[in-house]
């Protein structure tokens, strides 16, 4: 098999993750661990990425790979303990959020960086109307009167295409369907006009038609407001039409990153390739779906070398010992943390 030694020299991998000029948000060598009775779980282990204004970055991976924890670390909402950020930087226009006081961090949260949570019914308060919860943002952060704040709430519900917004502003969360509740969550996230929006599994538990509607809405709002959008998901089918770049996570690390076209046309990491092969296809009707054998590793006991090697069909002895593989430069905008990325791609 081919083995390359040219480590990453371009893109947003390595130690910086930040292109010249500075993006709205950049995460650099982020480490997060959970201290549990079973041991220390290395949940996020040296993650680097950035998102530009008007761009959609998708972060993909199976449940438990560290996607949502990374988002919570950015927002400053990790439960500490058991969680602890042990290294790295989270830069908002060059300012490290990890060095700010809680008061200053709260000013950034929602105002500059907002988040849509995956379970809208749990995230919304069941005893207050959606209008009250939306208006509260404007009363607290903008000092608006109740009347003006309610008018802004109606405006936001209309923005996210909730029919009869003026009447529905007095409804409670349980009176909305799952898709409409998710639209309310999007409205709350957009209320204060953030630069960066993090959407954590925004289409979970929604049917396919509603998923498409939500993703189309997010794409439209991102373009209208020139926001950076970070889309966290386990579903590669969801992001195909909306993402500009994709970062694939496994066991707390980013194992591949590229623009969306390169990822789908020629994946360069065995995990990414396996995820793509597991997507149902119309031309394979009646055939068994491809599966990734085995389970992700326990984060308290990540195997040496490449964490994916116990499940990998390309694994060799060099994958099973030592440090995790570095990120190799496939091309100027495509990186893979696999010693044998050329074999995965089928390159000579």
Question: With bands split at pLDDT 50, 70 and 90, how would you rate the model's confidence at 14?
Answer: very low
Residues 50-57 have a mean pLDDT of: 95
- The CA distance from 219 to 227, in Å, is 10
In a domain, 211, yes or no: no
174 and 285 in a common domain:
no
The residue ranking higher by pLDDT, 74 or 291, is 74
285 and 249 in a common domain:
yes
Contact indicator for 48, 29 with CB cutoff of 8 Å: yes
Any idea what DSSP says for residue 175? G
Query: What's the pLDDT score for residue 20?
Result: 43
Give the CATH number, domain containing residue 276: 3.40.50.300
pLDDT tens digits for 110-126? 789 999 987 777 889 99
Q: What are phi and psi of 315, to 5 degrees?
A: -65, 135
244 and 102 in a common domain:
yes
Residues 57-84 have a mean pLDDT of: 92
In a domain, 103, yes or no: yes
- The CA distance from 348 to 152, in Å, is 59
Query: What's the pLDDT score for residue 6?
Result: 46
Number of domains in the chain: 2
Residues 29-38 have a mean pLDDT of: 92
In a domain, 316, yes or no: yes
82 and 137 in a common domain:
no
248 and 155 in a common domain:
no
78 and 201 in a common domain:
yes
Helices and strands (DSSP H and E) totals, the chain? 12, 12
141 and 104 in a common domain:
no
Q: Which of 202, 128, 210 has its CA nearest to residue 169?
A: 128
Query: What's the pLDDT score for residue 347?
Result: 72
pLDDT tens digits for 234-248? 888 788 888 999 999
pLDDT tens digits for 151-175? 999 999 999 999 999 999 999 999 9
Domain of residue 166: give its range: 117-193
94 and 153 in a common domain:
no
In a domain, 288, yes or no: yes
- The CA distance from 15 to 278, in Å, is 32
In a domain, 107, yes or no: yes
In a domain, 219, yes or no: no
In a domain, 271, yes or no: yes
In a domain, 85, yes or no: yes
Any idea what DSSP says for residue 7? B
- The CA distance from 81 to 32, in Å, is 11
pLDDT tens digits for 219-277? 999 999 999 999 999 888 788 888 999 999 999 999 999 999 999 999 999 999 999 98
77 and 12 in a common domain:
yes
Q: What percent of the chain has pLDDT over 90?
A: 66
pLDDT tens digits for 74-110? 999 998 889 999 999 999 999 999 999 988 888 888 7
79 and 141 in a common domain:
no
Residue that terminates a domain, selected from 193, 217, 252: 193
Question: With bands split at pLDDT 50, 70 and 90, how would you rate the model's confidence at 284?
Answer: low
Contact indicator for 86, 32 with CB cutoff of 8 Å: yes
pLDDT tens digits for 179-202? 899 899 999 999 888 999 999 988
For the whole model, what pTM was predicted?
Answer: 0.88
- The CA distance from 136 to 187, in Å, is 13
Q: List the beta strands (DSSP E) in the chain.
A: 25-36, 39-51, 56-60, 83-92, 95-96, 113-116, 196-200, 228-233, 245-250, 253-259, 328-331, 334-336
**What DSSP assignment string belongs to 98-121?**
GGS-HHHHHHHBTTTEEEE-S-HH
96 and 237 in a common domain:
yes
Query: What's the pLDDT score for residue 229?
Result: 96
107 and 121 in a common domain:
no
Query: What's the pLDDT score for residue 251?
Result: 94
Question: With bands split at pLDDT 50, 70 and 90, how would you rate the model's confidence at 30?
Answer: very high
Establish how many alpha carbons lie within 13 A of residue 207's alpha carbon, considering only the half-sphere containing its beta carbon: 3
- The CA distance from 97 to 73, in Å, is 10
Q: Which token pair is 58?
A: 């998708």
- The CA distance from 64 to 173, in Å, is 28
């Amino acid at each position: 098999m081919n083995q390359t030694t040219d480590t990453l020299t371009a893109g947003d991998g390595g130690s910086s993750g930040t292109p010249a000029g500075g993006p709205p948000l950049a995460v650099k060598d982020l480490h997060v661990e959970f201290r549990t009775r079973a041991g220390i779980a290395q949940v996020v282990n040296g993650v680097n990425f950035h998102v530009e204004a008007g761009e959609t970055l998708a972060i993909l991976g199976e449940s438990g790979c560290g996607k949502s924890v990374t988002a919570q670390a950015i927002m400053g909402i990790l439960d500490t303990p058991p969680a602890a950020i042990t290294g790295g930087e989270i830069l908002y226009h060059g300012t490290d959020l990890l060095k700010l006081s809680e008061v200053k961090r709260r000013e950034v949260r929602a105002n500059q960086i907002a988040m849509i949570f995956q379970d809208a019914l749990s995230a919304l308060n069941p005893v207050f109307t959606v209008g009250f919860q939306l208006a509260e943002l404007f009363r607290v952060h903008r000092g608006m009167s109740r009347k003006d704040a309610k008018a802004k709430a109606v405006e936001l519900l209309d923005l996210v295409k909730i029919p009869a917004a003026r009447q529905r502003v007095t409804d409670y969360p349980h009176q909305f369907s799952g898709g409409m509740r998710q639209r309310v969550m999007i409205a709350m996230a957009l209320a204060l006009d953030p630069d960066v929006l993090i959407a954590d599994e925004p289409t979970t538990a929604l049917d396919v038609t509603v998923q498409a509607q939500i993703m189309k809405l997010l794409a439209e709002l991102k373009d209208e407001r020139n926001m950076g959008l970070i889309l966290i998901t386990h579903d590669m089918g969801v992001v195909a039409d909306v993402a500009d770049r994709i970062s694939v996570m496994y066991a707390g690390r980013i194992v591949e990153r590229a623009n969306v076209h390169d990822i789908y046309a020629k994946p360069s990491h065995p995990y990414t390739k396996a995820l793509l092969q597991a997507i149902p296809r119309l031309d394979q009707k009646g055939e068994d779906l491809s599966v990734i054998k085995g389970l992700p590793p326990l984060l308290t006991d990540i195997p040496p070398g490449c964490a994916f090697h116990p499940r990998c069909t390309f694994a060799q002895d060099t994958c099973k010992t030592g440090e995790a593989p570095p990120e190799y430069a496939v091309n100027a905008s495509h990186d893979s943390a696999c010693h044998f990325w050329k074999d995965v791609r089928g390159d000579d």
